[in-house]
Amino acid sequence: MTKLAVQMFTVRDLVKDADGFARTLEAISKIGYTAVQLSAVGAMNGDEPEVDAATAKRWLDDNGLEVIATHRPWPRLVENADEEIAFHKSIGCDYVAIGGIPRDLHDKGADGYREFIAQGTPALARLKEAGLRFGYHNHAHEFKASDKPGQTCYDLFIDEADPDLWLLELDVYWCQHAGVNAERLFERLKGRVPVIHIKDKEVIDGEGPIIGPIGEGLFDWDHIIPAGNAAGVEWWAVEQDRCRRDPVDCLRASYEFLTQKGLQGRK
């Protein structure tokens, strides 16, 4: 059964210190979510974080939440793999992702993407050896043309990267924003998308399209959800980059809509 998680980037302004982090985990649990993706949690950042991994794990357990994914800096995965492995073991998470390709490599086009894949493959093999999976998170810019007709740079991950090492943390919003049909993309990604990101696109008079809570926008979830399930999505991580109202209320609205559509929460 596919399940719902919260990508903590949504509530990044609420988790800058320990008290805010603790309160926010409790609020997420009370909505009915059973998991989070740790990303942009200020209280856990830095060389001497206010909240260490052991404390975070205890608070998560107290609220019935598991960590199903992280976002970590790419240089750390390449250069400090052993430390990253230990961190993920301590929080009970077997899936690590990054937020995107380094800008200098993206700017090189297809050659840069191939360089990125070649650079990362040995590091990802080390992660897999330790029991961790890796996922690449996209925005819209990966869907620019590559050096072959009809191919995008994102296609290089699908067609040329080792599928056992390079899983894809598909962000459905940015895929659709780039003009790519998410349902068709899911068909190509079967078995490679255990965790995905979802949000909706609202149209507000005078503002144009903006990111909104799921179910309050334009996306066709009656078709997207079955396509994702058929592709083997295990966790649907709700991520709202910008919130026009209280982010916890936005998470609640998304949860209520998605559980009505058959995705599983606690309630």
Answer yes or no: is 265 within a domain.
no
| pLDDT recorded at residue 267 | 55
Answer yes or no: is 195 within a domain.
yes
The SS3 of residue 198 is strand
Single-letter amino acid code for the residue at 266: R
How many domains does the chain contain in total?
1
Q: Are 117 and 161 in contact (CB under 8 A)?
A: yes
| pLDDT recorded at residue 207 | 76
Q: Which of 134, 135, 136, 153 is nearest to 144 (CA)?
A: 153
Measured CA angle at 106 (ends 101, 111), to 5 deg: 115
239-256 pLDDT, tens digit each: 999 999 999 999 999 999
| pLDDT recorded at residue 92 | 97
Question: Token match 């690449």: residue?
Answer: 136
Answer yes or no: is 168 within a domain.
yes
Give the residues of the chain that fall short of pLDDT 50: none
| pLDDT recorded at residue 208 | 75
Answer yes or no: is 266 within a domain.
no
Answer yes or no: is 187 within a domain.
yes
170-223 pLDDT, tens digit each: 999 999 999 999 999 999 999 999 999 999 999 887 777 899 999 999 999 999
Answer yes or no: is 267 within a domain.
no
What is the extent of the structural domain holding 219?
3-260
- Residue 184 has which token pair? 């068709």
Q: Which of 36, 37, 70, 57 is nearest to 265 (CA)?
A: 36
Answer yes or no: is 29 within a domain.
yes
Cα–Cα distance, 218 to 212 (Å, whole number): 10
Cα–Cα distance, 133 to 28 (Å, whole number): 25
| pLDDT recorded at residue 61 | 98
* pTM attached to this predicted model: 0.96
Pairing of strands 235-238, 200-204: unpaired
The CATH code of the domain that includes 41 is 3.20.20.150
| pLDDT recorded at residue 62 | 98
